[in-house]
Amino acid sequence: MAAVARNSSQAFPGIDAIRYEGPTTKNMLAFRHYDASELVEGVPMRDHLRFAVSYWHSFRGTGSDPFGAPTMLRPWETRGDTLEGALNRVEVAFEFMEKLGVGFYCFHDRDVAPEGKTLAESNRHLDAVAASLKLHQERTGIQLLWGTANLFSNPRYVHGAATSCNAEVFAYAAAQVKKALEVTLALGGKGYTFWGGREGYQCLWNTDMKREMDHLARFMHMAVAYAKEIGFTGQFYFEPKPREPTKHQYDFDCATCINFLRANGLEQHVKMNIETNHATLAGHEMQHELEYAGMQGFLGSIDANTGDPLVGWDTDQFPTNIYLTTQVMYTILKYGGLIPGGINFDAKVRRESFEPVDLFHAHIGGMDAFARGLKIAAAMRADGGIQKLLDDRYASWSSPLGRRIDSGTENFHTLEKEMLAKGDSEPCTSGRQELFENLINTYI
């Protein structure tokens, strides 16, 4: 299949490259805050943020929902789910990403190439599309942030993939990930993500949880071994999600995933790809998930989106809330950044936002929201006011007693002796939550 090195796509006529025009511009197809080359803490914004477009939402999303048919107007989609259609879509996707000015994209194998009648045919399709993706990557400099395999859409995965009750499904999933890893390597992918898909259960009565989780660990070890064999040195990620499509997903949240990795000897090989809407489904704030992973060295990459506070499922909306992006960027800066990860917009335009231009508005808004969050977080760090309040709160740990406890020289006997002699502990000081919150608002 002949792939093209130039891009003849004109799917977005009338839309030029999106430029930084500053906060006062009236042009809604411009960045107000994201200036790729502007230095923040000495690093260009593009390298802090490493924005990626999700192929599945932006180029395979149709707008269908359980109550209605597809709504998306995508004039370039004239060839359906064929190889020809897939190759045309690559050009459209690269036209979009070039105009938007993002450095990265992410895909599942079945997003970019149609599934064939056999595994061998699916692999041939994927190779043909990957050849075109590679040429367009070389032409534009846009890189693959991470690849993944879709182990959940096909009916064969009805009971899961690595955790299926059917051993042949496990084998098929292994073959699919093997191929996806090869393609990710060929495209210079910076990472490879495992989202659990249907790895979970709907009912414990029909589920052998121990067996399923053992199989998941075995599957992951096979992936690690194969990556080593082919020389794939990209970062592996787990993407936690607590529920949907199953009522309990095994990769529930960061704490669950990190425990699974440690319990199965995988902690050196896998970090977290943390998604905002998944965090909230788990009953956590995104900041909690980032902090939990970051403090233990498991912060890898993020899937940026947001849920709707009134809707209890994974709505995958584009992030526009500056408070949220400030929390995210503050925590990311605190743990030294995301490289080799990035900020993947795992987000979809609403079903009602069905015109091609809405893809631009959505991404521009998300990128600007993160750029503002980054600048605010950097200002908070430069000023040091929040850190000072935090240090004050824990000041007693700098006392001689605090230092002795932290250095490990104390035990229950010595501490009891000290408190018996003293009679009571010193009174606590205020937590000053409202002062913290007011101070944060002064930066926003």
Q: 212 contacts which partner out of ligand XUL, Co ion, none, CB within 5 to 8 A by kind?
A: none
Window 110-139: residues binding ligand XUL (CB under 6 A): none
Amino acid code (one letter) for 206: N
Q: Determine, following the binding rule CB under 5 A, whether residue 251 of this chain makes contact with Co ion.
A: no
Q: 148 contacts which partner out of Co ion, ligand XUL, none, CB within 5 to 8 A by kind?
A: ligand XUL
Q: How far apart are alpha carbons 324 and 343 in whole angstroms? A: 14
Taking the least distance from each CB to ligand XUL, the nearer of 91 and 253 is: 253
Q: What angle do CA 342, 56, 343 make, to 5 degrees?
A: 10
Q: How far apart are alpha carbons 286 and 257 in whole angstroms? A: 15
Q: Determine, following the binding rule CB under 6 A, whether residue 251 of this chain makes contact with ligand XUL.
A: no
Q: How far apart are alpha carbons 444 and 436 in whole angstroms? A: 13
Q: How far is the CB of 146 from Co ion (least distance, A)?
A: 10
Among 88, 122, 148, 331, binds ligand XUL (CB under 6 A): 148
DSSP designation for 346: -
Taking the least distance from each CB to Co ion, the nearer of 198 and 375 is: 198
Q: 88 contacts which partner out of Co ion, ligand XUL, none, CB within 5 to 8 A by kind?
A: none
- H helical segments located in 295-432: 322-334, 356-383, 385-393, 400-407, 412-422
Q: How far apart are alpha carbons 276 and 343 in whole angstroms? A: 11
Catalytic residue among 35, 111, 303, 314: 111
With contacts defined by CB under 5 A, name the span among 63-71, 256-264, 295-303, 387-395 that binds Co ion.
Answer: 295-303
DSSP designation for 98: H
Bridge pairing between strands 248-249 and 200-201: antiparallel
Window 260-299: residues binding ligand XUL (CB under 6 A): 275
- H helical segments located in 231-266: 254-263
Q: Determine, following the binding rule CB under 5 A, whether residue 275 of this chain makes contact with Co ion.
A: yes
Q: Determine, following the binding rule CB under 6 A, whether residue 331 of this chain makes contact with ligand XUL.
A: no
For ligand XUL (CB under 6 A), the number of binding residues is: 10
What is residue 288's three-state secondary structure? Answer: helix
Our answer to whether residue 111 is catalytic in this structure is yes
Amino acid code (one letter) for 27: N
Taking the least distance from each CB to ligand XUL, the nearer of 212 and 314 is: 314
Specify whether the CB–CB gap between 323 and 287 falls below 8 A.
no
CA torsion angle 55 82 113 249 (round to 10): 70
165-171: long-range contacts (C-beta < 8 A, 24 or more apart)?
165/208, 165/212, 170/215, 170/219
Binding track over 303-322 against ligand XUL, x by CB under 6 A:
x----------x--------
For residue 392, give Cα distances in angstroms to 295, 378, 387, 397, 407. Answer: 20, 21, 9, 10, 20
Q: How far is the CB of 54 from ligand XUL (least distance, A)?
A: 7
Q: 314 contacts which partner out of ligand XUL, Co ion, none, CB within 5 to 8 A by kind?
A: ligand XUL
Q: What angle do CA 431, 327, 436 make, to 5 degrees?
A: 25
Q: Determine, following the binding rule CB under 6 A, whether residue 195 of this chain makes contact with ligand XUL.
A: yes
- H helical segments located in 44-82: 45-49, 55-60
Q: Determine, following the binding rule CB under 5 A, whether residue 35 of this chain makes contact with Co ion.
A: no
Among 35, 95, 182, 346, binds Co ion (CB under 5 A): 346
Taking the least distance from each CB to ligand XUL, the nearer of 46 and 241 is: 241
Q: Would you tell me the crossing angle of helices 254-263 and 209-230 to the nearest 10 degrees? A: 70
DSSP designation for 41: T
Q: Determine, following the binding rule CB under 6 A, whether residue 109 of this chain makes contact with ligand XUL.
A: no
Q: How far is the CB of 41 from Co ion (least distance, A)?
A: 27
Catalytic residue among 108, 125, 215, 278: 108
Binding track over 300-319 against Co ion, x by CB under 5 A:
---x----------------
Taking the least distance from each CB to Co ion, the nearer of 98 and 346 is: 346
Among 182, 239, 253, 368, binds ligand XUL (CB under 6 A): 239
Q: 35 contacts which partner out of ligand XUL, Co ion, none, CB within 5 to 8 A by kind?
A: none
Q: How far is the CB of 169 from ligand XUL (least distance, A)?
A: 18
Q: Determine, following the binding rule CB under 6 A, whether residue 241 of this chain makes contact with ligand XUL.
A: yes
Residues 6+ apart with CB under 8 A from 251: 194, 195, 196, 199, 238, 239, 240, 241, 257, 260
Taking the least distance from each CB to ligand XUL, the nearer of 331 and 344 is: 344
Taking the least distance from each CB to ligand XUL, the nearer of 151 and 261 is: 151
Residue least distant from ligand XUL (Cβ)? 195
> Which residues sit at the interface with ligand XUL, rule CB under 6 A?
108, 148, 193, 195, 239, 241, 275, 303, 314, 346
Q: Which residues are catalytic?
A: 108, 111
> Which residues sit at the interface with Co ion, rule CB under 5 A?
275, 303, 346
